[in-house]
Amino acid sequence: MVRKRPLIGVTTQTLHAIEGIPSELPVSWVMNQRYVHAVMASGGVPVLVPLLAEDPATLREIYERLDGVLVPGGVDIDPAYYRSPRHDKLGRLDPARDTAELVLARWAVKDSKPFLGLCRGLQVLNVALGGSLWQDQSEERPDSLKHDFFPTAGWERDHLAHMVDVRLDSRLGDALGGGAVPVNSMHHQGINRLGYGLVSTAVAPDGLVEAAEVEEGFAVGVQWHPEMFSAGDRSVGRLFDAFVDAAGGASRLA
């Protein structure tokens, strides 16, 4: 019998949430191809997940067919989800994406379905589990490192911005190895209060939590963008392999 490759849902974003797109165009859902190729390179079968915030029943039907959920990077999360007023430096929002991804993250953790969050995806996991965010680190943590090395400001997406200290005894440590790991950095927000059941597994030199995971099962989030690097590079290691392997195991147990 040929074993089926695990089906990985990759969430999308609303086209109107992307700067420079005319608002009169019909709403579309899109996502960067690098996430798709990273899943494929590790043996998964990627499928883009529509943001059916208004139809949770259909979203649940899609979720039930998935072996794993990947939440990529993107725009800011509405601070109403962690009961904070909007900061002046809060960026663009994507309400449908917030609703869909937070629900998917909660379902995945509850069901022990493998989950991988990248940049925004880590923040989604944190907020879904009751955590909060810094809405703008340069304003709210003035002594922090520079973390917002955005391509729109002239930085390459694979620019290695700083190191993180990875905890060896963790799923992330299994994939990357422990100790100092160089990472890219394209975020102005970050974890403030850690969500319930999450443990910090990587920290920046300024103390910012750069990765977290649940203690049981595979739900891992990192603040950087490992999809920009080749498998085996220090900042990605076997992270995608470990995620897809976990999804494959979950599929065989289903």
| Domain limits, the chain | 7-253
Alpha carbon distance 236, 233 (integer Å): 6
Which pair of tokens denotes residue 187?
A: 């975020």
Kindly report the CATH class assigned to 7-253: alpha beta
Catalytic residue set: 119, 225, 227
Each residue's pLDDT, cut to its tens digit, for the chain (254 residues) gives 566 899 999 999 998 656 666 666 678 899 999 999 999 999 999 999 999 999 999 999 999 999 999 999 999 999 999 999 999 999 999 999 999 999 999 999 999 999 999 999 999 999 999 999 999 999 999 999 999 999 999 999 999 999 999 999 999 999 999 999 999 999 999 999 999 999 999 999 999 999 999 999 999 999 999 999 998 899 999 999 999 999 998 554 44
